[in-house]
């Protein structure tokens, strides 16, 4: 059996439906969820829906009974990931899970990304538990740029402090396809894999893609870290959150998301979504809303 944690989340749900589309019998798919009611559609397709929270090790042990392969979708509570992931890994070991697949962060062991410490700590925990594992270091989601794309279409401007840093983003569907390929592989590629879009882009190139799609001039205003922080706080963002956002951009400027890897498309068996394709999709969705 194959289990997916966070199975009603945006990535987890795509993996569960991807497993079904790949021909895995529904009864062999376990959706581990906090709120079963949110997985009613999955249950309706025959998926085993089991309730467990990352904070409840006993419930996790029960939910993982009979599971051979587990996708541990990283938790979304910053500062709580390590203890939560520890619970899942301990439960997996207790339940006899044979393979853990974990969604980590790009270059987790060599990056200034503010999110990285919890991910590399989890990677080390996996090694300590001694469970065979595939670590998927997912790059940024293209969906992260839906709001900036809309803003650029309206105002003709993007701004930030990421400079000429390149971003190897891909869609959640692209990353889900990679995870499905690993979970269903006859011999999963145990080890650490950097995953991202086939072609990394800069924010200036994102602005150009919006311009090409909308037919209007769109520019990227590259700010200093200080200017970026001041702009975000001036727009009403709490200072702590603003500093976090600036920290992300500064890491991008230093190359944190430029992995140069095509492993994701190799796993998925198809090219990843291009920047132009995503910009077109995002603007069409915005128009239809």
**DSSP of 99-114, one letter per residue?**
EEEEEE-TTTTS---T
pLDDT per position as a tens digit, 103-154? 999 999 988 888 899 999 999 999 999 999 999 999 999 999 999 999 999 9
pLDDT at 266 over 90: yes
- Per-residue pLDDT band for 220 (boundaries 50, 70, 90) equals very high
Helix (H, G, I), strand (E, B) or coil at 190: coil
Stretch(es) of the chain classified as CATH 3.40.50.720: 2-138
157 sits in which H/E element: strand 157-160
Stretch(es) of the chain classified as CATH 3.90.25.10: 139-171+196-259+271-289
- What's the CA gap between 152 and 147, in Å, rounded? 9
CB-based contact 104:123 (threshold 8 Å):
yes
CA 156 to chain centre: 28
For residues 152, 157, 163 and 164, what is the CA-based torsion angle, rounded to 10 degrees?
A: 60
- Per-residue pLDDT band for 16 (boundaries 50, 70, 90) equals very high
pLDDT per position as a tens digit, 26-55? 999 999 999 999 999 999 999 999 999 999
Domain 2-138: CATH architecture, name and number where available: 3-Layer(aba) Sandwich (3.40)
Q: Which CATH superfamily is domain 139-171+196-259+271-289 in?
A: UDP-galactose 4-epimerase, domain 1 (3.90.25.10)
pTM, to two decimals: 0.95
pLDDT at 185 over 90: yes
């Amino acid at each position: 059996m194959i289990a997916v944690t966070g199975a009603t989340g945006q990535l987890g749900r795509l993996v569960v439906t991807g497993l079904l589309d790949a021909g895995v019998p529904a009864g062999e798919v376990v959706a581990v969820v906090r709120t079963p009611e949110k997985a009613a559609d999955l249950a309706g397709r025959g998926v085993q829906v089991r309730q467990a929270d990352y904070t409840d090790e006993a419930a996790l042990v029960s939910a993982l009974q009979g599971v051979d392969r587990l996708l541990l979708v990283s938790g979304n509570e910053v500062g709580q990931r390590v203890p939560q992931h520890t619970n899942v890994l301990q439960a997996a070991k207790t339940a006899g899970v044979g393979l853990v697949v974990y969604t980590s962060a790009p270059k987790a062991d060599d990056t200034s990304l503010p999110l990285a410490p919890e991910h590399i700590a989890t990677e080390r925990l996996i090694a300590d538990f001694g469970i065979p594992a595939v670590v998927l270091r997912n790059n940024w989601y293209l969906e992260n740029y839906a709001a900036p794309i809309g803003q650029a279409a309206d105002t003709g401007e993007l701004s930030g402090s990421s400079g000429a840093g390149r971003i190897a983003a891909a869609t959640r569907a692209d990353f889900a396809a990679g995870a499905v390929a690993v979970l269903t592989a006859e011999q999963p590629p145990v080890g650490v894999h950097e995953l991202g879009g086939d072609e990394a882009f800069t924010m200036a190139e994102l602005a150009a893609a919006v311009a090409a799609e909308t037919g209007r001039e769109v520019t990227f205003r590259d700010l200093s870290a200080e200017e970026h922080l001041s702009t975000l706080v001036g727009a009403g963002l709490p200072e702590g959150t603003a500093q976090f956002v600036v920290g992300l951009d500064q890491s991008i400027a230093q190359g944190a998301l430029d992995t140069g890897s095509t492993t994701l498309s190799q796993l998925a068996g198809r090219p990843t979504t291009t920047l132009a394709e995503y910009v077109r999709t995002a603007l069409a969705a915005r128009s239809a809303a």
